[in-house]
Structures are given as structure tokens and as C-alpha cells.
Amino acid sequence: MIHDTGSTVPRRQLGRALRQLRTEAQMALDGVADALQCSRQKMWRIETGVGPTRGLDVKALCELYSATPELTDALTALANETKAKGWWHSYGNAVPDWFELYVGLESAASRLREHDDTLIPGLLQTRGYTYGVYQHRSGISQDEKERLVEVRLQRQSLLERRLPPAPKFEVVLSEGVLLRVVGSPATMAEQLRHLLDVGSRPHVSIRVLPLSAGLHFGAVAGPFVILDFPPSNRIEPEPSVVYSESLTGALYLDRKEELAVYEEVWSSLTSLALDEKQSKLLINKIVGEVHHG
């Protein structure tokens, strides 16, 4: 099955290219909005890649910025790709806007590096564990919980994808995550066995950071994902992005200096974590303890 990676990356690329043209033309967002007789908000949405962009608007902007005919054609073609819908659109309100952007980026990434010191990452959760996580969310109906669980499980098909190839997925988990029982002890034992199962795939690496490592750079950084993208024949390759989520929104960091800090955190995590083999032994040991605890 060809996985639909949706329109997130083309939207972001188009937004970046148009922002660059505007900067080169030395125009302010307000000035452009006036010239196009549209709102500043609409211009902001186009430049940040929040929604699809019409080819007509792209043509008008390129004309305003005196872009070359070749670039105008390339950007207009890119505008058509911003309308593609990813599978997550069918889940409606279960996927908030700020997370929809993440699901699109996750689908397009060639490498994901995730650190978590609180919960098992969504791509590795079992149905029982996910239910356990959502049990503690107030203000959402049982139906909404069901939809949230389905979205999370649907995202996991990413790791089984054939075309384009599944991303390389590297995870560093705090030992505390494995010891924190979510749901029941039986749910937790099933979740830990699932980690061992998924971790045996060639493109997945699961490593545990022992509590004995003490306070480290990653504990200060908290949970995050670094997404890297495949080289493409488009205008420019998609830059890596760091994603950091909270209950009500998320941060997307893609400035060079921000990425450099997180690369440093990642190096620190991988230097302190157990290797894959030692991590498997520790997970197995905890499964035994959960069962007989």
C-alpha cells in the first residue's frame, strides 16, 4: 500500500519559499495583505503552511515579488500539492490542528528520534496502554476517547510501511517509564512485551536510560521528537524539526541553533543509555517483576 503522506511538507515548503521572496522584495506582511486585498491572517497562514494555498494566490504573490517565470511555475505546482488530504483528516476533531501538522510531518519523515521520560511513545503503545493514558483525561467523552485511541493505532502503521520505506525510528526511554504502571499490571506486561517485539525490527531501535544515570541533559529537556526528512527533488530539502508537545499545543522548532541544542541533548542521551541488547534484558527483567509484583 502506498502511504498517503498528505500535504504538510509541500505546505511548509511553499510557505518558506514565499516568505523568502517577500523578504527579498523587502515587503512587510501588512503591505502584501493590502496589495492582495486579503487579511494579514491569511498571509500568515500561507507563510506558515497551516492550510492549503490556491494556485491563484501563489501566482499573484509571485507577480508582486517579481519572481522568475520558472519559480512561479514551480511554486504554483507546489500549491496543487497542498490540497492532498492525509488519512488523519478522516478523524475530524479527534486530531487538533497543532497535532495534524505533526502527523503529516511524521508520515513524511525518513528518521524519527524520540526521547520520553514520562510515557511510552504513541507509536509504540498497545491499545490497552493508550486507553490507560486517556482514562486520566477529563472533559472528553467515551466516543472521543475511542477516536483518539484509533488515531494513535492508525499512526503505528507507519512502522510497517513498504512504500515509501518506513522511517528509521530510534527511541531512548527513561527506565522510570517502564516502571510506571499504566492501566493494570497485566496491561503493563503486555505493553513491555510489545516493546520487545517492535524493537526487534531492523529499522527500530529502543534503548533504556537507567535511573542510575542521575540527572541528565535529557531530563531537563523533557520529551521531544527530532524529525529528519529524505532529500527530495523539490525546491529545497525539508529542514529537520524538533517537536515538543504539551496538553494543549506543541512547539515546532526548526531554527539551526535550536536544532543544534537538541542534537547535543540526543548525543548525551545515547552516550548514557544502555545498548539495545542490555535494554532488552532490562525490559525482560521488569516484565517478570510486573507479573510477580
**Every domain of the chain and the residues it spans:** 8-81, 90-292
pLDDT of the residue at 203:
97
* Domain 90-292, CATH: 3.30.870
pLDDT of the residue at 174:
96
Across all residues in the chain, what is the average pLDDT? 88
**Is residue 24 scored above 90 in pLDDT?**
yes
One-letter identity of residue 207: R
* Range in 2-11, 87-96, 262-271 the model is least confident about: 2-11
Distances (CA, A) of 278 to 14, 166, 210: 45, 25, 11
**Is residue 240 scored above 80 in pLDDT?**
yes
Average pLDDT over residues 251-257: 86
d(CA 54, CA 59): 9
pTM of the model: 0.80
pLDDT of the residue at 233:
62
* Range in 60-69, 178-187, 239-248 the model is least confident about: 239-248
pLDDT of the residue at 5:
56
Average pLDDT over residues 61-74: 92
**Is residue 141 scored above 50 in pLDDT?**
yes
pLDDT of the residue at 101:
79
The answer to whether the beta carbons of residues 36 and 47 sit under 8 Å apart is no
**Is residue 231 scored above 60 in pLDDT?**
yes
pLDDT of the residue at 96:
76
Tens-place pLDDT, residues 169-201 = 999 999 999 999 999 999 999 999 999 999 999
Q: How many whole angstroms from its chain centre is CA 117?
A: 17
d(CA 274, CA 172): 9
* Range in 187-191, 252-256, 288-292 the model is least confident about: 288-292
The answer to whether the beta carbons of residues 274 and 282 sit under 8 Å apart is yes
DSSP code, position 149: H
* Fold of the CATH domain 8-81: 434 Repressor (Amino-terminal Domain) (1.10.260)
Backbone phi, psi, residue 113, to 5°: -120, 120
Which residue did the predictor score with more confidence, 94 or 278? 278
* Crossing angle for the helix pair 55-64 and 8-24, to the nearest 10 degrees: 20
One-letter identity of residue 219: A
